[in-house]
Chains A and B, each alone.
Chain A
Amino acid sequence: MIYFDNSATTKPYKEVLNSFLTVSSEYFGNPSSLHSFGGQAEKLLSQAREQSAKLIGVKPNELYFTSGGTESNNLAIKGAALGNRNRGRHLITSSVEHPSVLTAMEQLEQEGFEITRLPVDKAGRVSVEDVKSSIRKDTILVSIMQVNNEVGTIQPIKEIGHMLKSHPSVIFHVDAVQGIGKVHLDIYESRIDLLSISAHKIHGLKGTGALFIREGVRIAPLFSGGNQERKIRSGTENVAGAVAMAKALRMTLDKSAEAMKNMVELKNLLRNKLNEIEEIQINTPIENSAQHILNFSLKGIKSEVFIHALEQKNIFVSTTSACSSKKKAPSNTLLQMGVPEELAESAIRISLSFDNTEEEARKAILEIEKTVKHLGRVMNK
């Protein structure tokens, strides 16, 4: 099997699963229980927090465990909006965010918040100037993703953060779900207040993630309950999941330096070879794009058909993002980039992990070539 859908989810590392299993079976206590068995669970949780925080370069008391990227984004955006509504009701985001950001914004719009959705250029990038000129006196939040999940474009997070230094009352949220481990980001240097991460994109488990909340930034919780996670996220902590995430994060970052070189080569190989196929148009920009995502459109072939055709060869790729691929709608990001609707409907995303090999890439190229030729003949009859 050639698995090229790592932006949808990754295969959990074996070591990560083992940690999860051990913690779940041997340290199943509730961290809030007063007895020493609960104490052990609490220790594990705080060690998971310390390690994860250290790895992403923040303080342990700034990291809050959640159930994943969607929850982190919802908590960040709704929490910041509701917790600061007395200061203003204007929110800024881009038009190419993940659905968990876009629909959270829509929901807030119905609650009376005003949303500015910034356009992107042909490469899918937001302009710092646009962010700057959209800021008003009542702006309380700017939410921009680090790496676009559909085409891999890297947004100018550091530059936006620097610009926001002169707007200290605006909270800056970054959805870093796709970037962690693959695209470097200095959280403090980029003046980020809130940052979402998810474990299953880095070989951890589904249902685990975290939100970084910079010291001193106030947001309202979304859940009412037992006040876990310093009152920000009630609900009995997923200790095993948190430990597994800490391990996944460590293993991913340990591999990163060496594995990135390989990933760059794979992406270049795929890009160059696929570019030679006449029916293919590459959508991922050459500059400022993450190394693990390559998006392309097929002229005259529906992406769904293409996916299933490749599947028969045991190659797994994706139509745009996994979260929206069931909707059968053209890729939102591509439409925003100005790609014609016909091409936006036939987009394919290849997303790599550190474990993919050159052999896999070469085989995939060969099969894609064959499939395009074959389907092209059938569809254009």
Chain B
Amino acid sequence: MNYDRILIRYGEISTKGRNRNKFVDKLRKSVRIALTPFPNIKIEASRDRMYVLLNGENGIEIIKKLKNIFGIQSFSPAIKVEREMESIKEASLTLVKSLYLEGQTFKVTAKRSDKTFDLNTDEINNAIGGHLLTNIAGIKVDVRNPDINLRVEVRKEAVYLSCETIKGAGGLPSESSGKAMLMLSGGIDSPVAGYMAMKRGLEIEAVHFFSPPFTSERAKEKVIDLSKKLAEMAGGSIKLHIVPFTDVQQAIREQVPENYTMTSTRRMMLRITDEIRKKQEGLAIITGESLGQVASQTLESMYAINEVTNTPILRPLISMDKTDIIKIASEIDTLEISNRPYEDCCTIFVPASPKTKPKREKVNQYESYFDFEPLIQEAVQEVETLVIKPDREPHSEFSELF
């Protein structure tokens, strides 16, 4: 049996009151972008459902794409039939027959959002169930744990039949919550933070600090590869701002006592990121910090570092354990890239014993002997901004070799 449409359920959007249309439009846009390889499909969106009409396109490939779109609670491949009991029965039979393997059990779950339909749900269940039992030899009913659960949705315009409910990515539609800057180091945590922020509908731009010759081209490539993954999740492209950080980092080394260099470095990074945020008209900064994970992520450190800005700092991983973060990194396919062993701006110049409880007064005092502002402005001006697209054709420079 060929499904002719996929029914998409929104989940949380449905509760968003008057903003709902905006959310639905954003989701529709995400779906349209993700399904550009399938020119014949048609998207129909209403206030509480969306339908992708397949028009002969490859349903299995479309399902793969839909699984990654934020804002979809679940979806079901479905068949549309007329609101007429005989055609419902016949279509049900063909659909179940196409899935049935010997010895399997089934159940019918009817739902009426339109109560004007002649039969009530029990009567629909019985009529279809009976029809299936008499026409498929050996099939049995099991209402608790059926192998096949035939869902029958009676709606005003038609009746929809489906047998599977596939879990979606959840969250809110892409770019429905505004823009924020993601501080992307190359480690395991920051891409996960970016993923979780995007899941809540944030549009993100990544900021990476690059300190040649202390960090290598390969560290930069690593961040570009991570950004490709993020772009894929975002369903389009993503901006990556690469900040030349060598001069600032060297100035810190010269001006600040060793055990405070880490605190000061983070403060400078935050100041620079905040400047870029202003330019790009973002409203928040996202970091991969998890409370107490390393010296810079103690509450005291955050208090000392956060002083330089009052822009909201979002820390999606703040209360997560490392093992759980690693699990997500593996699921979203960034772990492998993050594990590449190159130094990044956070791992070079690590003092032997960084302050785990830095003081605001102290760090302010150390930084007061030198004017960092010109260096910060220079770094912001020299930022290299790349637009990163998902990695469909990897390293095309070598393509003729493969």
Contact = CB atoms under 8 A, between A and B. Distances in A.
B402 A48 contact: yes
Contacts of B221: 39
A188 to B, nearest CB: 15
Interface in A23-74: 23, 34, 36, 39, 42-44, 47-48, 50-51, 60-61
Nearest to B391: A50
B18 interface: no
B336 interface: yes
Chain B interface residue bracket vs A: 10 to 19
Given A43-B395, A47-B395, A247 B401 contact: yes
Given A23-B401, A34-B216, A36-B217, A47 B394 contact: yes
A42 B395 CA distance: 12
Contacts of A48: 402
A19 B402 contact: yes
A36 B336 CA distance: 20
Contact of B336 (A23, A34, A47, A61): A61
Contact of B402 (A36, A42, A60, A247): A247
Nearest to B330: A215
A42 B222 CA distance: 12
A51 B398 CA distance: 12
B218 A51 contact: no
B398 A50 contact: no
A89 B16 CA distance: 61
B217 A44 contact: no
A50 B394 CA distance: 9
A16 to B, nearest CB: 10
A324 interface: no
Contacts of A325: none
B402 A246 contact: yes
Nearest to A26: B401
Contacts of A19: 401-402
Interface centre among B217, B221, B401 (most CB of A within 10 A): B401
Contacts of B336: 60-61
Interface in B177-233: 216-218, 221
Contacts of A250: 402
Contact of B218 (A39, A60, A243, A247): A39
A247 B217 CA distance: 27
Contacts of B402: 19, 47-48, 51, 243, 246-247, 250
A94 to B, nearest CB: 30
Interface string A270-302: 000000000000000000000000000000000
Contacts of A314: none
A48 B216 CA distance: 23
Nearest to B333: A59
A43 B401 contact: no
B216 A44 contact: no
A22 interface: yes
Interface centre among B216, B217, B398 (most CB of A within 10 A): B398
A34 B401 CA distance: 23
B342 to A, nearest CB: 9
A243 B401 CA distance: 7
Interface in A215-274: 243, 246-247, 250
Interface centre among B216, B218, B398, B402 (most CB of A within 10 A): B402
A47 B216 CA distance: 20
Contacts of B394: 47, 50
A87 B272 CA distance: 55
Contacts of A61: 336
Contacts of B401: 19, 22-23, 44, 243, 247
Contacts of A43: 395, 398
Contacts of B216: 34, 39
Nearest to A47: B395
A61 B329 CA distance: 14
Nearest to A22: B401
B327 to A, nearest CB: 13
Contacts of A39: 216-218, 221
Nearest to A43: B395
Contacts of B217: 36, 39
Contacts of B218: 34, 36, 39, 42
16 contacts: A19-B401, A19-B402, A22-B401, A23-B401, A36-B217, A39-B218, A39-B221, A43-B395, A44-B395, A47-B395, A47-B398, A48-B402, A243-B401, A243-B402, A246-B402, A250-B402
Given A34-B216, A34-B218, A48-B402, 17 more contacts: A19-B401, A22-B401, A36-B217, A36-B218, A39-B216, A39-B221, A43-B398, A44-B395, A44-B398, A44-B401, A47-B395, A47-B398, A47-B402, A60-B336, A243-B401, A247-B402, A250-B402
Interface of A: 19, 22-23, 34, 36, 39, 42-44, 47-48, 50-51, 60-61, 243, 246-247, 250
Query: Which 7 pairs of residues, A with B, have the shortest CB-CB distance?
Result: A19-B401, A47-B395, A39-B218, A61-B336, A36-B217, A247-B402, A243-B401
